[in-house]
Amino acid sequence: MAITKCLHMKQAKTGYPAKHLANGLRYIMNPEKTEHGRYVCGHNCIPEQALSQMVDTKRHFGKLDKRQGYHFILSFEEDEVSEEEAFQVVGEFVTEFLGKDFEAVYAVHNDTDHIHGHIIFNSVRCTTGYKYDYKNGDWENIIQPLSNRICREHGLSVLDLEEAKEKRKQKGQEEKSLSERDRRIRRDVDQALQDAGSYEEFLENLSSMGYELRGRKRLSVREPGAGRARRLDQLGEEYTEERLRQRFGRLPIPEMTGEEIPVEWTYVFIPYRERHLTRYQKECFLRRYRQGKPMADSKTWKYRAAIHELKKLQEEFDFLAAYRIQDKAQLKAISDATKEQLWENSRARKQLRKEMVPYEEMLLFLNKLQEKQMEAKLYQEGYQEFFQDHQTYQNLLGQLKEMGYSLSEAEQTDAYFFEKEERLRIERKKILKEKRIAERLHEKAEEKEKLEAQQKEKNRKPSARGRGKGG
């Protein structure tokens, strides 16, 4: 089930108007989240030049201010899709939904247990200059019904519209039970989250709104002129620090409030594409033909779930063959071994973090440099609005040299640690997969033994009654 959340990016209150748009693009194109950019693509633009192209469009039509862009987050259930399939799904959604009118960048992040995709598109149409306009009811009447239909065709689960309506109703009732002050704080927190690319930037956004931040373990905020501070975790379960951190692209994605665009859930659009049929699909079509059902109404989505189960069976077969498993005890032993492997992987990651300690300050400066690299390049290309960011970039570069590192040396060190982190991440992902397969097979073996025992007991009882009558 691909759940989509829609966020809007306002004009930044400080700096250049497209600051939040730039931060968002930088975040979704993060190489550590996208397999070094493997799962990043541009729509009507080049990803590396997306910001400048979007700004050019805004400047051409005289719409540099106010709403800057939109951010869609598409999240899939665990083990429902691979990175490649999710990337294809997101790309096809972008093509269908945005067409030729909008410049967009989309990416798939695989740094969490739940694969999720990000789409950021310009608020201004590059064809006509008109801004994207979301109207109340668009999600319910247009986006969601279309997405549901295509999701079924792709074999993905769908969202019950009635259930979604009930959740929105409950959220509205919850909002009414809050005080006006709490509702105001929640709206500001939601907005600060939308305009941030990290938790630290979220805190900066709150400060720029005039809030005084307090507390180390539990974050509290105090509005200008207010007497007492208000703990955020008392505003609802979605406002604990843990959930606030999760709201940067992770599942489950909470609903958020907004004045112009209500936060809604939807599903991705998957257009039809020609492809070769598997043997299983051919058998399904043949069965429908013999039943006298027309091929034009084949509904391939019905067989996609079964094909997914066949893939799981194939994984289990390969696993059994690779480890030459003969009984349930071997499955248990492998499952226990994966726990040990996970511990070793965790120990190696901790050791790597210790190895990085002497370079933390240098890597921090490099990260700040990379955050301003896009803007500094745009200034060099003639975009004067990025002058301040260019100056910041030059200052950071000078500080890095004072630490005894050139930019290339810092990048090489960063690449070294990134490679080791990536290797450990891939290793952990592989171990977790084998652990899940082993546990799944172990459960199946126990279930089989249980059924066999029940069948033996069932067969034994009539035999016992027969002996009693004969005596």
Locate 89 and state its tokens. 């799904």
Place of tokens 């929640």: 186
254, 243 contact by CB (below 8 A): yes
- CA 405, distance to chain mean position in Å, is 35
Between CA 93 and CA 148 the distance in angstroms is 12
DSSP conformational letter for 78? T
Burial class (CB in 10 A: 0-12, 13-18, 19+), 333: middle
Locate 280 and state its tokens. 């299983």
Between CA 43 and CA 31 the distance in angstroms is 19
Residue-wise pLDDT for 309-341, tens only, equals 777 788 888 888 888 888 888 888 888 888 888
| Residue type at 129 in one-letter notation | G
Question: How would you classify residue 44: left for phi > 0, otherwise alpha for psi between -120 and 50, otherwise beta?
Answer: left
CA separation (Å) from 431 to 278, 336, 340, 402?
Answer: 30, 11, 10, 43
pLDDT at 275 (0 to 100):
43
113, 39 contact by CB (below 8 A): no
3-class state of residue 379 by DSSP? helix
DSSP states along 393-459 = HHHHHHHHHHTT--HHHHHHHHHHHHHHHHHHHHHHHHHHHHHHHHHHHHHHHHHHHHHHHHHHHHH
pLDDT at 43 (0 to 100):
92
Between CA 426 and CA 462 the distance in angstroms is 55
Number of other CB atoms surrounding residue 86 within 10 Å = 23
pLDDT at 313 (0 to 100):
81
Between CA 405 and CA 394 the distance in angstroms is 14
305, 155 contact by CB (below 8 A): yes
φ/ψ of 323, rounded to 5, equals -100, 0
Element (DSSP H or E) covering residue 160: none
Looking at domain 3-180+261-266, which of 3.30.1490, 3.30.40, 1.10.8, 3.30.930 is its CATH number? 3.30.930
pLDDT at 96 (0 to 100):
85
Number of other CB atoms surrounding residue 219 within 10 Å = 20
Between CA 270 and CA 262 the distance in angstroms is 24
Residue-wise pLDDT for 144-199, tens only, equals 776 666 666 767 666 677 776 776 666 666 666 777 778 888 888 887 776 666 67
**Which parts of the chain have pLDDT scores under 70?**
1-4, 113, 143, 146-152, 154, 156-159, 164, 167-176, 194-198, 216-217, 225-226, 246-308, 461-471
Strand stretches in 186-298, DSSP E: 212-214, 220-222, 230-231, 265-266
CA separation (Å) from 225 to 182, 220, 382?
Answer: 15, 15, 43
φ/ψ of 225, rounded to 5, equals 90, -10
Residues 6+ apart with CB under 8 A from 350: none
42, 71 contact by CB (below 8 A): no
212, 263 contact by CB (below 8 A): no
Print burial letters for 223-261: b (CB count within 10 Å at least 16), e (below 16).
beeeeebbebbebbebbbeebbebbbbbbebbebbbeeb
Locate 381 and state its tokens. 């290309």
